[in-house]
């Protein structure tokens, strides 16, 4: 599995179910990386997507405890225990990559199953953020394997940083 997130300087990812900021090129990068693959998200992440529609050209899996919640175009599981058999069923040969896309709770729960992370590091600390993921820079199990140059959108500076798990 893979993580794919945009984080601020404190590894915060959102506020009130919304992303901290939308960086146009980062959204394009997200699409390029995840298309033709599987994306996993929680209910709050789904509710942050415009029109709450599944992401095109991807298999969309929604993890929610609400057994009545069944949005069109999503495969829904009500627990992580149900997630793994579903992944085996829809991706038996593991040709598709699996991306954890949000939110913070799902990322923290699935981190132990991830071996790569595609992180957009935004050089800013958002004080009002309320959702975070673990800081991989502080985790000896992870190491940086690739860093882009610094990019800019308006007054925001950011860099793409890819990580790989080096220890299980």
Provide the CATH number for the domain around residue 45. 3.40.430.10
On average, the pLDDT of the chain sits at 96
For residues 5 and 120, what is the distance between their CA atoms, to the nearest angstrom? 6
Question: What pLDDT score was predicted for residue 50?
Answer: 78
**12: domain range?**
2-165
Residues of the chain with pLDDT under 50: none
Peptide bond into 82 cis (omega under 30): no
Question: What pLDDT score was predicted for residue 51?
Answer: 87
Nearest of 38, 39, 30 to residue 95 by alpha carbon: 38
Radius of gyration of the chain (CA): 15
Question: What pLDDT score was predicted for residue 16?
Answer: 86
Domain count within the chain: 1
Whole-model pTM: value is 0.96
3-state helix, strand, coil in the chain (%, to 5): 25, 35, 40
Question: What pLDDT score was predicted for residue 168?
Answer: 83
Q: Give me the sign of the Cα torsion angle 104, 105, 108, 112.
A: negative
């Amino acid at each position: 599995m893979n993580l794919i997130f945009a984080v601020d300087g404190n590894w915060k990812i959102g506020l009130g179910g919304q992303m901290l900021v939308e960086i146009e090129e980062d959204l394009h990068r997200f699409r390029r990386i995840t298309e033709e693959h599987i994306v996993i998200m929680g209910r709050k992440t789904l509710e942050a997507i415009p029109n709450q529609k599944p992401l095109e050209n991807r298999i969309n899996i929604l993890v929610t405890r609400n057994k009545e919640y069944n949005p069109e175009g999503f495969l829904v599981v009500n627990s992580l225990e149900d997630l793994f058999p579903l992944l085996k069923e829809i991706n038996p040969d593991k040709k598709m990559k699996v991306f954890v896309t949000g939110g913070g709770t799902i990322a923290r729960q699935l981190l132990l199953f991830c071996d790569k992370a595609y992180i957009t590091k935004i050089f800013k600390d958002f004080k009002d953020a309320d959702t975070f993921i673990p800081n991989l820079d502080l985790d000896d199990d992870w190491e940086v394997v690739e860093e882009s140059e610094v990019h800019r959108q308006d007054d925001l500076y950011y860099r793409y940083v890819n990580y790989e798990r080096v220890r299980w």
